[in-house]
Amino acid sequence: MTIKIAVIQFPGSNCDFDAVHVLNNVMNVDAELIWHNNFKEAHFDGCIIPGGFSFGDYLRAGIIAAHSPAIDEARVMLKDGRPIIGICNGFQILTEARFLPGALLRNESLKFICKWVNIKVENNKTAFTNRIEKDSVLSIPIAHAEGRYFTDNLNELEDNDQIVVKYTNKRGEISEESNPNGSLENIAGVCNLEKNCIGLMPHPERASESILSPKGTTHGKLFFESMIEFIKKRGF
Amino acid sequence: MPKVKSNGTELKVDLTDKEITQIKELLNREPSITEWGMFDVMHSEHCSYKSSRPKLKFFENAEKNYDRVLAGPGQDAGVIDIGDGYCLAFRIESHNHPSAIEPYHGAATGIGGIIRDILCMGVRPIALLDPLRFGTLKNNPHSQWLLKYVVKGIADYGNCTGIPTIGGEVEFDESFESNCLVNVACIGLGTIEDFNHAPSRAYHPGDYVILMGGSTGRDGIHGVTFASRTLTEMSEADRPAVQIGDPFTKKMIIEATIEAIKTGHVRGLKDLGGGGISCALSELTGEGGTGALIDMANIFTREPGMTSFEIMLSESQERMAFIVKPEGLEDILAIFKKFEMSHAVIGRTDDSGVLKVRDGENLVVNLPSTALSDAPTIQREEKSPDYLDALHKQKTPEPTKELKEIMHALISSENICSKEWIYRQYDHEVGVRSVVKCGEGDSGVLRIIGTDKFIAASVGTNSKHCFLDPYEGAKGGLVETCGNVIANGARPLAMVNCCNFGNPEKPESYWYFSKALDGINDFCRTLKIPIVGGNVSFYNEDEVKNTSIKPTPVIMIVGIIEGAENIITLPFKKPGNDILLIGETKGELGGSEYHSVIYGTEGGVPPKINESIIKATWEFLLELYSKNLVEANHDVNKGGFIITIAEMCFKNKLGANLDLTDSNVNDLRDDIFLFSESAGRFVIESATKEHDIIMEIAQQHGVLVRKLGNIIPEPKIIVRGLKENDIFLDVIKLKELHASTLPDLMEI
Amino acid sequence: MSKDENWIVEIVLENKPAARDPVGTVIQKDLLAKKGYEMVSNVRSGQYLRIYLTANDANDARIIIDKMCNELRIFNPVTQNLTILNVFKT
Amino acid sequence: MSKDENWIVEIVLENKPAARDPVGTVIQKDLLAKKGYEMVSNVRSGQYLRIYLTANDANDARIIIDKMCNELRIFNPVTQNLTILNVFKT
Ligand SMILES: Nc1ncnc2c1ncn2[C@@H]1O[C@H](COP(=O)(O)OP(=O)(O)O)[C@@H](O)[C@H]1O
Ligand SMILES: [Mg+2]
């Protein structure tokens, strides 16, 4: 049997094809693009909420998609412990749907930012980081206008090990210069209490093939490899 | 403006008396007010190209002369066959006037429009580029405001639709202060089958005409007339409300359209842009040799009570017209429902050759399908401006500053400095195709997933050069944009252009246009580059000074790279490697950055183009690539080769040790040699052991190559062998100046 | 008994102080750069929505909007405050 | 004689009525209508600003703000309208 991953397509998703491409052609799993109204969780071992501008990001990034029936389906997966990742707009959707804590606000600069950054892995015990060494520094791009992570409950996140990755410099040091958008504590990705659901502002699907990477790295793949590993361990 | 009357209603039209008489003769009756409105729009400069068509005649045979051209000028976009069953569509367009008064929505809807043009060739839009012109930024809040919101408009629209902006170009010059230029280009990729599925013609009677997308509102009526006059001629009150773009709806339109085309049921496709429904329907039926009966009642409107005139002429954004086979209707409607896109069957095609629009009992439009597209042309007068002679005679002053100081001033000048402030705001990677990204090379390079082919694209021209000599300047634009794709390893395949000029009714402005087109035409013919499309924007004038903008024939080139190993990038890579200058440096400083930044003058004689040398240089480089002899390449333009070398040092913080003793073949003064903008030159990095073979190949091609020195690991540039003192430059300092200029100007 | 009158409710969503207000800050920075606006001491920004609805009366309109905003998370309680500015009949 | 009182001016910038408002449309169509709020017929969105300033009187406050919005290009009269919602003393 092959692993089946759903890539959910909301009106306005635009990294949906990219995620499908990487899963199918780079990771060699069976990924399917599914229109949000047609998503049925029972057919899948995991799901990806891709980047983009669902419903134009009108009102607030992610909020309208968070009300889609696809999210109710995904909630079943969440409770069941299957892996779910929200990338960029997907992360925004998952915070608005309260799968994940906190919120993503407009970048401090008020500008969209597209660039490669470094992130450090703070927690490698999640469904998407179990194949990465803790404290490794990864090279990966961001592309967003609303990526400033905020929570009114930082202590709880820290106590529960819910911070997954942070923006750092090349050497893994957390500094203001390496914070591209004004995120609290340089947070770039978080997970739920159970660690089967994560949200990332950076785009692993854009960093999974060496030809796309300025330094020839493929660090984005690590997140998907971890997901596959996690699914294999659970049994599918 | 003359007035026409119909049934007691009066309408101001932009038609000549002769046109008015001809229209009445053609119809043998008095047109309805809606029909008058349609003629008015379709005969506007923007839609009919009435002033420019006599010159554009030269372009008309691309399909015949080049096997790879599938669609040439006259279509919504040029389309070329790139092998393996794929085709590329591309086009460039101007959105200058709306952007000059509302930079955010003006630029955004410009992007919206160019995306539609590509989409209606049946292919997926995969990349955007944005050549821009503004007044100088320093101490100029107006220009800063325009740049800030134009970039934001492009970013918000392009990013949301998921089409990466992979490159662009920008120049700052006083002449663009009140009339900025916002040109936008788009590239689409699809299979040749997709392209064949959806011509922008309605060839078959009995097909359904479907309108899909946004609703029709009162906004933007007469947008094209607006684009066909100067900003001063249109008072605030006359100006149509600038359109509000809706990138989210556009994204849905893209997905729904592509899904619809894949069914094979779509037989014709047309975007609604300038002239709205009128223009789309008359082109579909007129060029397809059919007619159609449209029922106005089925057109969904945004506000109640819109008249037939308003509906037929509305330029509301985000709408597409589909011509669909009867048996495919259900499937197509189901797709539009899935995407929750508003849509309506508004009529059917027939074989009458007449376009009829019914408003209740009345036929408000009843015109031969071809009537609207047969606009007359106007032969404009041309005359070279009197001021040019004096300008050409200006000499480069004796330098009053140290060369090092000049270098610092040039590298931090608005036109040479880094454009990162702009492209960071663009998602240039969505689509996972971007292989050479903004700032990493002279052009944007995209992979075609599933093949080992890559597309390289570049846009640009040098407005200062064109101002002094439009013929050589336009050729120079071609040399530069072709040079940009060649620098990345590509062979130029085809071009489109966007001609931005002043008022064509002024003989001087028309002369610029005419000469620039001669230049484009001569160059492309000699170098066998098919011209597959273009766009003309006239009436770009400075409102206050009542002078024209600098003539700006923007060129867009796409090229193809076969094989990932043949992609070349800009940064120097390895200390010890040779630095070679390809091409001859002459004393060509007319319209140079050196003149304008250091002396505040813009005269002199601009670079001349020698096609046979250009051709030899390209063939020489392509041969070096095929033998894997080039490690880095960057073409030389503004600021001269020394600026080129500095830029190549930046990324990897390397340096250069140069000895120029033997390279100044024309014995030029030091400053003239260093900062000359002679066209068609490149700086390449190659391994020292390959020096002799490279020189041998150069000799075979008759190309001048000089070794300037070597790459060094320390970030400094040492220049020896000049007539006067040696120069020592700090790369980190130069890089800092290069990077900080725009942010410092923009983030006051 | 329903009267079904036409009402307009105006609401504003603002960031809580902890979530900061970059838009307001930028305007203020611009003001400082431009001389002559020393009388302005502070600028705060928010998102404004004008909602057209049918309701029995003003109170009903208010209740509907209040419920809607909470139920649909029109404002994000982690980062935003919601204010009903005005309720009026058309 | 200047009184220099403390005032608050609340303003809204929104697209002109004839122009579209994609934000409002999507909120109404893709969120409210789908979640059972059919009584809402239309939503228009805008940018809200609350400005704290000293002025002689309400009218003075109004004039200052109007000038400021034009001069700082906080809105573009080509596509947007500026409405002063409220002016009040603190
Ligand atoms: N308006 C723009 N939009 C996007 N990218 C731009 C723009 N202007 C310049 N760039 C990018 O900045 C880089 C350098 O541009 P430019 O200085 O024009 O190149 P060149 O060295 O060929 O003259 C290129 O990658 C180019 O695509
Ligand atoms: Mg170049």
* Residues A207, A201: Cα–Cα separation, whole Å: 13
* Interval A27-44: pLDDT, tens: 999 999 999 999 999 999
Q: Kindly give the distance from the C-alpha atom of residue B422 to the centroid of ligand 1, in angstroms, as a whole number.
A: 9
Q: Which residue has the higher pLDDT, B282 or B160?
A: B160
The SS3 call for residue D3 is coil
| Residue A9 pLDDT | 97
The number of the ligand 1 atom at minimal distance from the alpha carbon of B635 is 22
Instruction: Give the mean pLDDT of B131-147.
Output: 96
The number of beta carbons lying within 10 Å of the beta carbon of residue B86 is: 21
The SS3 call for residue B412 is coil
* Interval A71-125: pLDDT, tens: 999 999 999 999 999 999 999 999 999 999 999 999 999 999 999 999 999 999 9
The number of beta carbons lying within 10 Å of the beta carbon of residue C37 is: 20
Spatial neighbors of B139 by CB under 8 A, at least 6 apart, are none
First vs last Cα of chain C: how many Å apart?
20
The number of beta carbons lying within 10 Å of the beta carbon of residue D81 is: 14
**Residue B598 pLDDT > 90:** yes
Confidence of residue B273 (pLDDT cuts 50, 70, 90): confident
Given the structure tokens 């803790």, which residue do they identify? Answer: A134
**Residue A210 pLDDT > 90:** yes
Q: Report the DSSP pairing between strands B682-686 and B578-582.
A: antiparallel
* CB contact (8 A) between residue A212 and residue B435: yes
Asked if domains B11-41+199-375 and B570-748 share a fold, the reply is yes
Ligand 1: residues whose CB is within 6 Å?
Answer: B 130, 132, 165, 167-170, 419, 422-423, 426, 438-439, 442, 484, 637
Confidence of residue B236 (pLDDT cuts 50, 70, 90): low
* Residues B633, B456: Cα–Cα separation, whole Å: 14
Instruction: Give the mean pLDDT of B570-591.
Output: 97
B73 DSSP assignment: B
The two three-digit tokens of residue B615, written as one number: 């051709």
Listed residue (B682, B680, B617) closest to B648, CA to CA: B682
| Residue B46 pLDDT | 78
Catalytic residue flag (residue B95): yes
**Residue B246 pLDDT > 80:** yes
Per CATH, the number for B11-41+199-375 is 3.90.650.10
Confidence of residue B574 (pLDDT cuts 50, 70, 90): very high
Judged by phi (left if over 0) then psi (alpha if -120 to 50, else beta), residue B448 lies in beta
**Residue B242 pLDDT > 80:** no
* Interval A185-197: pLDDT, tens: 999 999 999 999 9
**Distance of alpha carbon B149 from its chain centroid, rounded?**
19
| Residue B220 pLDDT | 65
Taking only residues 292 to 321 of chain B, the set having a beta carbon closer than 8 angstroms to any beta carbon of chain D reads 302-303, 316-317
* CB contact (8 A) between residue A150 and residue C22: no
* Interval B403-440: pLDDT, tens: 999 999 999 999 999 999 999 999 999 999 999 999 99
DSSP-assigned letters across all residues of B92-118: EEE-HHHHHH-HHHHHHHHHHHHHHHH
DSSP-assigned letters across all residues of A33-101: EEEGGG--GGG-SEEEE--B-GGGG-SSTTTTGGGSHHHHHHHHHHHHT--EEEETHHHHHHHHTTSSS
Q: What percent of chain B has pLDDT over 70?
A: 96
Nearest CA to ligand 1 atom 9: B169
**Residue C2 pLDDT > 80:** no
Q: What's chain B's average pLDDT? A: 92
For an interface test with C, give the residue of D13, D23, D47, D50 to mutate (most C CBs within 10 A). D50
B723 DSSP assignment: S
Q: Which residues hold their Cβ within 5 A of ligand 2, which is an ion?
A: B 442, 484, 635
Listed residue (D76, D58, D56) closest to D10, CA to CA: D58
* Residues B497, B517: Cα–Cα separation, whole Å: 10
* CB contact (8 A) between residue A67 and residue C26: no
Per CATH, the number for A4-234 is 3.40.50.880
Confidence of residue B467 (pLDDT cuts 50, 70, 90): very high
Say if domain B570-748 classifies as CATH 3.90.650.10.
Answer: yes
**Residue B240 pLDDT > 70:** no
Domain map of chain C by residue range? Answer: 5-19+46-89
Q: What percent of chain A has pLDDT over 70?
A: 100
Confidence of residue B716 (pLDDT cuts 50, 70, 90): very high
* Residues B234, B49: Cα–Cα separation, whole Å: 20
* Interval B180-221: pLDDT, tens: 999 999 999 999 998 888 788 889 999 999 999 988 988 766
Catalytic residue flag (residue B595): no
Domain spanning D5-19+46-89: which CATH class is it, in words?
Answer: alpha beta
Rg (CA), chain A: 16
Nearest CA to ligand 1 atom 21: B442
Instruction: Give long-range contacts, CB 8 A cutoff, 24+ apart: B434-440.
Output: B434/A212, B434/B164, B434/B166, B435/A211, B435/A212, B435/B564, B435/B567, B436/B488, B436/B567, B436/B569, B437/A214, B437/B166, B438/B166, B438/B167, B440/A214, B440/B569, B440/B570, B440/B571, B440/B651
CA atoms within 13 A on the CB side of B350: 12
pTM of the model: 0.95
Best residue among B423, B461, B570 to mutate for probing ligand 1's pocket (most ligand atoms within 8 Å of CB) is B423
Rounded alpha-carbon distances, angstroms, from residue B205 to B211, B343, B345, B731? 17, 21, 15, 67
* Interval C14-24: pLDDT, tens: 999 999 999 99
Rg (CA), chain C: 17
Domain map of chain B by residue range? Answer: 11-41+199-375, 570-748
| Torsion of the alpha carbons at B609, B613, B615 and B617, rounded to the nearest 10 | -120
* Interval C42-55: pLDDT, tens: 999 999 999 999 99
Enclosing H/E stretch for C13: strand C5-15
- Phi, psi angle pair for A205, to nearest 5°: -70, -20
First vs last Cα of chain D: how many Å apart?
20
* CB contact (8 A) between residue D48 and residue C51: no
Q: Is A17 in CB contact (< 8 Å) with chain B? A: yes
CA-CA-CA-CA torsion sign (B79, B80, B86, B88): negative
The two three-digit tokens of residue B198, written as one number: 């959806």
| Residue B60 pLDDT | 65
Q: Which amino acid is at B382?
A: E
Confidence of residue B308 (pLDDT cuts 50, 70, 90): confident
| Residue A59 pLDDT | 95
Q: Which amino acid is at B80?
A: I
CB contact at 8 A, B608 and B678: no
Instruction: Give the mean pLDDT of A129-152.
Output: 97
* Interval B55-87: pLDDT, tens: 886 666 777 788 899 988 878 899 999 999 999
Chain A contact set for D35 (CB, 8 A): 67
Best residue among B169, B481, B746 to mutate for probing ligand 1's pocket (most ligand atoms within 8 Å of CB) is B169
* Interval B330-373: pLDDT, tens: 999 999 999 999 999 999 999 999 999 999 888 999 999 888 87
Instruction: Give the mean pLDDT of B701-719.
Output: 98
Q: Compute the nearest-CA separation of A189 from chain D (Å).
A: 27
Q: Report the DSSP pairing between strands C5-15 and C80-89.
A: antiparallel
Confidence of residue B713 (pLDDT cuts 50, 70, 90): very high
| Residue B106 pLDDT | 94
DSSP-assigned letters across all residues of D20-88: --HHHHHIIIIIIGGGT-TTEEEEEEEEEEEEEEEESSHHHHHHHHHHHHHHTTSS-TTTEEEEEEEEE
First vs last Cα of chain A: how many Å apart?
8
**Residue B544 pLDDT > 80:** no
CB contact at 8 A, D88 and C51: no
